[in-house]
Structure 1
Amino acid sequence: MKLKTSRRGALKLASLAMAGVLLSGCGLSSGSAVPLAVEPGSIKPVPELEGVTITVGSKNFTEQLVLGYIGQFALSAAGANVRDLSSIVGSSTARRALQSGQIDTLYDYTGTSWISYNGNNDPIPDARAQFEAVKKQDLERNGIAWTAIDYQVDNTYAFAVNQDAAKRLGVEKLSDIPRIVAEHPEDATFCVDTEFANRNDGMPGVEKEYGFTADKSKMKILTEGSIYQATANGTCTFGEVFTTDGRIKALDLKVLTDDKLFFPRYNIGITTRDELLKRYPQITSVFEPVSKALTNDELVKMNAQVDVDGRDPADVARDWMAEKGFVKIPGR
Structure 2
Amino acid sequence: MKARLTHGWKIAVATLAVVSVASCGLESGGALPLSVNPGSIQPIPELQGVKVTVGSKDFTEQIVLGYIIEFALSAAGADVRDLTNIQGSNSTRDAQLNGQVDVTYEYTGTGWINYLGNETPVPDPRAQYEATRDADLATHDMVWSDPAPMNNTYALAMSRDTATRTGVKTISDYARLVESDPGAAVTCVETEFNVRQDGYPGLAAKYGFDAGRSQRSILQSGIIYQATADGDQCKFGEVFTTDGRIIALDLVLLDDDLAFFPKYNPAIVVKKNFSQAHPEISQVMAPISALLTNDVITEMNRQVDVDGREPADVARDWLVSEGFVTVG
Which residue of 58, 61, 65 corresponds with 2:59?
61
Which residue of 43, 66, 87 corresponds with 1:45?
43
Task: Say if 2:55 and 2:83, in contact at 8 Å, map to a contact too.
Answer: yes
Which position in structure 1 is the counterpart of 2:151? Answer: 154
Report the Cα offset of residue 217 of structure 1: 7.5
Which position in structure 2 is the counterpart of 1:87? Answer: 85
Alignment of 1:126-165 (within 5 A): 126-150=124-148, 152-165=149-162
Q: Compared with structure 1, are the counterparts of its residues 136 and 82 closer, same or farther at alpha carbon in structure 2 (3 Å cutoff)? A: same
Distance across 1 between alignment mates of 2:224 and 2:200: 15
Distance across 1 between alignment mates of 2:4 and 2:219: 19
Q: Secondary structure at the match of 1:154?
A: coil
- Higher deviation after alignment, 306-315 or 181-190: 181-190
Report the Cα offset of residue 215 of structure 1: 4.4
Which position in structure 1 is the counterpart of 2:211? Answer: 214
CA offset digits 1:307-327 (Å, max 9, x no partner): 000000000000000001000
Distance across 2 between alignment mates of 1:45 and 1:258: 45
Task: Say if 1:4 and 1:309, in contact at 8 Å, map to a contact too.
Answer: no
**Does 2:95 match 1:97?**
yes
Task: Say if 2:36 and 2:74, in contact at 8 Å, map to a contact too.
Answer: yes
Which position in structure 2 is the counterpart of 1:199? Answer: 196
**Does 2:235 match 1:237?**
yes
Q: Compared with structure 1, are the counterparts of its residues 71 and 209 closer, same or farther at alpha carbon in structure 2 (3 Å cutoff)? A: same
Report the Cα offset of residue 187 of structure 1: 0.9
Which position in structure 2 is the counterpart of 1:273? Answer: 271
Name the Cα RMSD after superposition.
Answer: 1.4
**Does 2:199 match 1:187?**
no
In structure 1, list runs of 5 or more residues that go unmatched. none
Number of residue pairs matched by the alignment: 325
Which position in structure 2 is the counterpart of 1:261? Answer: 259
Distance across 2 between alignment mates of 1:5 and 1:53: 26
Task: Say if 2:136 and 2:143, in contact at 8 Å, map to a contact too.
Answer: yes
Distance across 2 between alignment mates of 1:302 and 1:216: 37
TM-score (norm 2): 0.96
Task: Say if 1:4 and 1:311, in contact at 8 Å, map to a contact too.
Answer: no
CA offset digits 1:17-71 (Å, max 9, x no partner): 1111112213225100111000000111111011000000000000000000000
Distance across 1 between alignment mates of 2:46 and 2:4: 40
Distance across 2 between alignment mates of 1:260 and 1:101: 39
Q: Secondary structure at the match of 1:245?
A: coil
The residue identity in structure 1 corresponding to 2:196 is R
Distance across 2 between alignment mates of 1:71 and 1:292: 13
Distance across 2 between alignment mates of 1:119 and 1:61: 23
Task: Say if 2:5 and 2:11, in contact at 8 Å, map to a contact too.
Answer: no
Distance across 2 between alignment mates of 1:176 and 1:214: 15
TM-score (norm 1): 0.95
Q: Secondary structure at the match of 1:107?
A: strand
CA offset digits 1:221-275 (Å, max 9, x no partner): 1111111011111111110000000000000000111111111110110001011
Task: Say if 1:302 and 1:316, in contact at 8 Å, map to a contact too.
Answer: yes
Distance across 2 between alignment mates of 1:5 and 1:18: 14
Distance across 2 between alignment mates of 1:5 and 1:296: 22
Report the Cα offset of residue 5 of structure 1: 6.1
Which residue of 96, 105, 108 corresponds with 2:106?
108
Q: Secondary structure at the match of 2:85?
A: strand
Task: Say if 1:108 and 1:268, in contact at 8 Å, map to a contact too.
Answer: yes
Task: Say if 2:153 and 2:263, in contact at 8 Å, map to a contact too.
Answer: yes
The residue identity in structure 1 corresponding to 2:28 is S
Q: Compared with structure 1, are the counterparts of its residues 18 and 216 closer, same or farther at alpha carbon in structure 2 (3 Å cutoff)? A: farther
CA offset digits 1:160-195 (Å, max 9, x no partner): 011111011011111111221122221121111111
Which residue of 148, 165, 188 corresponds with 1:168?
165
- Higher deviation after alignment, 278-287 or 61-70: 278-287
Q: Secondary structure at the match of 1:36?
A: coil
Q: Compared with structure 1, are the counterparts of its residues 148 and 35 closer, same or farther at alpha carbon in structure 2 (3 Å cutoff)? A: farther
Distance across 2 between alignment mates of 1:124 and 1:148: 17
Task: Say if 2:104 and 2:268, in contact at 8 Å, map to a contact too.
Answer: yes
Which residue of 302, 305, 313 corresponds with 2:303?
305
In structure 2, list runs of 5 or more residues that go unmatched. none
Distance across 2 between alignment mates of 1:238 and 1:23: 35
The residue identity in structure 1 corresponding to 2:227 is A
Task: Say if 2:179 and 2:210, in contact at 8 Å, map to a contact too.
Answer: no
